[in-house]
Amino acid sequence: MDTNKIWMILSGSVEQSSDKEYTDKVGVVSVVYASADETKVRQYLEILKKENPEVFYMQYEVPMDVKLTELTHYPSIEITKEDLE
């Protein structure tokens, strides 16, 4: 097991804002699972996809102790304006 990395499962969704003054939809990106064990992450990702086929999930591998925003690509999910309509 590589202890210099962590694997994460992210979920992306479009939801109605919970703010009563804000009536628009919002894009929500959530980290739903993280582990240093890639096998566990892959297994759980398959379970999530089967249980929730309408939800978008992504697996990411990231190095430990690194400013992720300095990498060329880091965990993120793009949600467009059209997704929010």
Per-residue pLDDT of 36-68, as tens digits, reads: 999 999 999 999 999 999 888 999 998 999 898
Residue 44: CB atoms within 10 A of its CB come to 18
**Size of the chain, expressed as the number of residues it contains:** 85
Closest by CA to 61, choosing from 51, 71, 49, is: 71
**For position 75, what pLDDT does the model report?**
77
Domain ranges in the chain are 5-84
Query: Rounded to two decimals, what is the model's pTM?
Result: 0.74
